[in-house]
Amino acid sequence: MRIALLAPLPPEQTGIADYAAHLRSALRELGLEVVTPLEGCQDLSEQLRRLQAFDWRGVNLVHAELGGGRFGEFQALEYLRRAQPQLPLTATVHDPERLIWRRAKLFFPLNALERLPPPLPQAAALLADPLTLHEERRLAKGMQRLITLTRLGGDCLRQRMGLRTEQVAVIAHGNLSIAPVELPPLAPLRLLYFGFIYRGKGIEDLLQALARTLTTHPHYRAQVRLTLAGGSAPEMTFDPAGNYLDGLRQQIAALHLSDVVDWQLDLPSADIPHTIQAHHVMVLPYRESKKLGFLGQMRGTSGALSWANACGRGVITSNARAFAEEVAGGNGITYRQGDIDSLSDALNRLLLDPHQVRQWAGTAADIGRQRQWNNTAQRFAELFRDACKEPL
């Protein structure tokens, strides 16, 4: 079987690019041929020219990765739906309940608002949303399969896009096979934030919650450490509001946390497992975007959470997205997103009873083994074969 994969790929620094690279490698190990006609190209016009020049003869199926605020893959599927109607189309939807959430280009006169100060660009996207949703539904209904990473995401996508039950499948986020490593000694308790470091991840909430915990229980100060680890690409950390990393450092100093917070920025891929396994629990304090809330509910998951399972470590996570489903098996706990007191309470309970990280770690390791990429790729291969057998 020859698959055309439309997706961002490394060296692009996104979780979806990493996901696509692992999926491509795992599918090839199963004997499937995977070609990537858009690899390395981010210009929308050039992407369209590549699609037009590509020889689609011999391609059995096209699979795309949708999400992360990207438009190219959606545009490519729209083009192929019209130009190559004989090809089955599938996609993993990383940010359900929508496919792209907003259009790449707004029409006149709304496009004039994009160049004006906030909140006018956001207002323009909201005014264009009925058309965006129409285009998303039109494409979604013409797809053979749409895959989500969680059941909640699949249910929300199916309902919002008006899809048939059989059009949506759930395949959990795959992860690498990581050799198990025992938990470190429980003192000090080592907390880890892992992921791309930019605004919207709730890192400020985590710092404030930890400060409140240490203010209430000052004797814990020598018993806990927090590491902030992950990517810090300039386009993510520099924005009109200033340098985000500098802002975090200033907040850490203001909260008197400099002696308990460590940094591991721009972590090489080879060092990720060791870094995670050197800690007891991962903390993911994500908040849902209030701006996106006007357009729908984001019910995706996190690549960082997949890494925690792969490395056999539990998580404390907010109840944003579909995280509650991801820890329902006993590999961690959730707290109310944006509620700093709730997160502080979770940290307090963990410090009072640190042994619970052993149970979380054991369950996470079991989940990690079930979701290794070789098993995940097998499920994709079966789905692709079924999709190819169905009439278009």
> Which regions of the chain are under pLDDT 50?
234-238
- For CATH 3.40.50.2000, the residue range(s) in the chain are 2-174+372-389, 189-370
Give residue for tokens 């919207």. 200
For residue 254, give the nearest of 201, 224, 211, 218 by alpha carbon.
211
pLDDT averaged over the chain? 94
Q: What's the order of all strands across the beta sheet hosting 224-230?
A: 261-265, 224-230, 189-194, 281-284, 314-318, 332-335
Could you please state the CATH topology (level 3) that the domain comprising 2-174+372-389 is classified under: Rossmann fold (3.40.50)
Q: How confident is the model at residue 391, as a pLDDT?
A: 87
d(CA 167, CA 147): 8
Which tokens belong to 74? 């959606």
Q: What's the order of all strands across the beta sheet hosting 145-148?
A: 33-35, 2-6, 61-66, 89-93, 145-148, 168-170
Q: How confident is the model at residue 316, as a pLDDT?
A: 98
Sign of the four-CA dihedral 350, 352, 354, 359: negative
Residue by residue, what is the 3-state secondary structure of the chain? CEEEEECCCCCCCCHHHHHHHHHHHHHHHCCCEEECCCCCCCCHHHHHHHHHHCCCCCCCEEEEEECCCCCHHHHHHHHHHHHCCCCCEEEEECCCCCCCCCCCCCCCCHHHHCCCCCCHHHHHHHHCHHHHHHHHHHHHHCCCEEEECCHHHHHHHHHHHCCCHHHEEECCCCECCCCCCCCCCCCCEEEEEECCCCCCCCHHHHHHHHHHHHHHCHHHHHHEEEEEEECCCHHHHEECCEEHHHHHHHHHHHCCCCCCEEEEECCCHHHHHHHHHCCCEEEECCCCCCCHHHCCCCCCCCHHHHHHHHCCCEEEEECCCCHHHHCCCCCEEEECCCCHHHHHHHHHHHHHCCCHHHHHHHHHHHHHHHCEHHHHHHHHHHHHHHHHHCCC
d(CA 100, CA 255): 38
At how many degrees (to 10) do helices 44-53 and 72-83 cross?
Answer: 30
Q: How confident is the model at residue 237, as a pLDDT?
A: 38
Provide CB contacts within 8 A for 63, sequence distance 6+.
3, 4, 5, 6, 89, 90, 91, 92, 380, 384
Provide CB contacts within 8 A for 331, sequence distance 6+.
308, 309, 314, 315, 360, 363, 364, 367
Cβ 345 vs Cβ 309: under 8 Å: no
Tell me the pairing of strands 238-239 and 242-243. antiparallel
Give residue for tokens 């870094």. 275
What are the backbone angles phi and psi of residue 181, rounded to the nearest 5°? -135, 135
pTM (predicted TM-score): 0.93
Which CATH architecture does the domain made up of 189-370 adopt?
Answer: 3-Layer(aba) Sandwich (3.40)
Residue type for 391, please? Answer: P
Cβ 140 vs Cβ 99: under 8 Å: yes
Q: How confident is the model at residue 234, as a pLDDT?
A: 44
